[in-house]
Amino acid sequence: MTEKKFSYNAAMLEVEQILASLEKNDLDVDEMSQKVKRATELLQACKQKLYQVDAEIQAVFENVRI
Partner 1 sequence: MNAITLLDLNQMVRSRLRKEFPDTYWIQAEVSECKENYSGHCYLELIQKREGSDAICAKARATIWANVWMGLKDYFESQTGTHLQSGQKVLVEVAVEFHELYGYNLNIRDIDPAYTMGELSLRRQEIIRQLTADGVIDLNKELPWPLLPQRLAVISSSTAAGYGDFMDQLHHNDFGFVFYTALFQAVMQGEAAEQSIQDAFNRILDCGVVFDAVVIIRGGGASADLSCFDRYDLCFYCAQYPLPILSGIGHDRDSSVLDRVAHTSVKTPTAAAEYLIDTLAQQAQILDANHEKLGLAVQRIMDDLKQQLKTDSDRLRLSTRECIHSAELVVERRDADLKNRCNRILMQRNQQVEMQYSNLMHRSQARLEQLRHQVELVEKTLAGFSPEILVKRGFSLTLQNGRIVKSVEDLAPGAAITTRLRDGIIYSTIDKTEIRHD
Interatomic CA distance for residues 15 and 20, integer angstroms: 9
Residue 5 sits in the site that holds partner 1 (CB under 8 A): no
> Among candidates 12, 3, 1, 66, which has minimal Cα distance to 39?
12
| Interface residue with partner 1, options 5, 30, 50, 55 (CB under 8 A) | 50
Of 17, 19, 31, 34, the one binding partner 1 (CB under 8 A) is 19
Q: According to the binding rule CB under 8 A, does residue 34 interact with partner 1? A: no
User: Of 34, 6, 2, nearest to 18 (Cα)?
Assistant: 34
Query: Shortest distance, CB of residue 5 to partner 1, whole angstroms?
Result: 14
